[in-house]
């Protein structure tokens, strides 16, 4: 039978255990139990229970309550095992791939339009593996937007920004893009031309480029366009899709290619004079 524990002393006080600190905390606990004659495999149930009480006093109360069920706090061995498990580092890459995909989708999906820019989501910067897994999902669940304001930016600059963005995207990422909203600044009313000082009267209209599951392209028109204008946009979309087939480009890559190479796509805003009244 092991000797009875000695009275508590000031030396029994050690740093409280928080998450992630088990390796640094355990040696102090072992020394504390040794001084109290409560360290070893031959403890009685009573001694093990006393050791568990002493160990619990060295764990942050909030962490103990959250991490260790009451049934696991009765004896030293079970309490220490549970604390070690609870404070272990979480290894995200140990999750099955299907669970990691669900995490990426939850993390990266947003109801907001994502402006095309030369920055990647933070999760894709953690490692090469996370980047390879998360980027295609990011591009497939995001709804991108690019604006062309003729009063403040040149067409060459806008197309250059899209080209620079595309250069940073992997082929798998480009293929996964499903939607790009093209915002075009057009003059108000039916005027064909506006002076820069009258830009406050202009408005932004949106054309939504979409890629269907088969790889085909389409353009969604603003409701306020006249029927004649809508026919012109539909004709342009068919031409764009035919060019995609000829070049053998599918998915979002075809949309991005059109934004980079098709000047007339950026000039759909010139349909303002045909707007319905």
219-259 pLDDT, tens digit per residue, is: 888 877 778 888 888 888 888 888 888 877 777 788 888 88
- Looking at the fold, whether 157 and 218 belong to one and the same domain comes out as yes
Where is the domain boundary, 64, 87, 110?
87
Per the structure, the count of domains in the chain is: 2
SS3 content of the chain, % helix, strand, coil (to 5): 55, 10, 35
Question: Does residue 82 or residue 7 have the better pLDDT?
Answer: 82
- Looking at the fold, whether 124 and 257 belong to one and the same domain comes out as yes
For the beta carbon of residue 265, count every other beta carbon within 10 angstroms.
22
Give the Cα separation of 4 and 51 in Å (integer).
Answer: 11
- Looking at the fold, whether 167 and 32 belong to one and the same domain comes out as no
Which whole number is the average pLDDT over 5-27? 62
Return the pLDDT at 5.
42
Task: Give the mean pLDDT of the chain.
Answer: 78
- Looking at the fold, whether 110 and 81 belong to one and the same domain comes out as no
Structural domain containing residue 82: 11-87
- Looking at the fold, whether 70 and 113 belong to one and the same domain comes out as no
For residue 19, give the 3-state DSSP assignment.
Answer: coil
- Looking at the fold, whether 62 and 165 belong to one and the same domain comes out as no
């Amino acid at each position: 039978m092991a000797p009875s524990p000695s009275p508590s002393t000031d030396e029994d006080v050690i740093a409280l255990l928080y998450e992630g600190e088990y390796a640094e905390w355990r040696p102090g606990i072992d020394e504390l139990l040794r001084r109290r004659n409560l360290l070893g495999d031959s403890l009685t149930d009573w001694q093990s229970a006393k050791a568990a009480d002493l160990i619990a006093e060295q764990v942050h109360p909030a962490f103990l309550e959250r991490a260790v069920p009451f049934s696991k706090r009765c004896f030293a061995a079970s309490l220490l095992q549970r604390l070690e498990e609870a404070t272990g580092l979480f290894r995200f890459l140990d999750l099955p791939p299907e669970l990691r995909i669900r995490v990426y989708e939850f993390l990266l999906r947003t109801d907001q339009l994502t402006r095309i820019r030369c920055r990647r989501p933070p999760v894709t910067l953690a490692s090469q593996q996370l980047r390879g897994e998360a980027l295609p999902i990011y591009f497939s669940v995001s709804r991108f937007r690019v604006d062309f304001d003729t009063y403040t930016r040149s067409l060459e600059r806008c197309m250059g920004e899209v080209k620079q963005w595309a250069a940073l995207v992997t082929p798998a990422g480009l293929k996964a893009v499903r939607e790009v909203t093209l915002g075009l600044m057009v003059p108000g009313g039916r005027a064909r031309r506006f002076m820069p000082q009258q830009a406050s009267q202009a408005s932004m209209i949106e054309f939504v480029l979409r890629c269907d599951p088969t790889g085909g392209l389409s353009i969604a028109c603003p409701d306020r366009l006249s029927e004649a204008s809508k026919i012109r946009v539909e004709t342009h979309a068919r031409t764009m899709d035919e060019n995609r087939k000829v070049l053998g480009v599918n998915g979002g890559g075809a949309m991005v290619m059109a934004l980079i190479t098709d000047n007339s796509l950026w000039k759909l805003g010139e349909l303002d004079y045909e707007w319905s009244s």
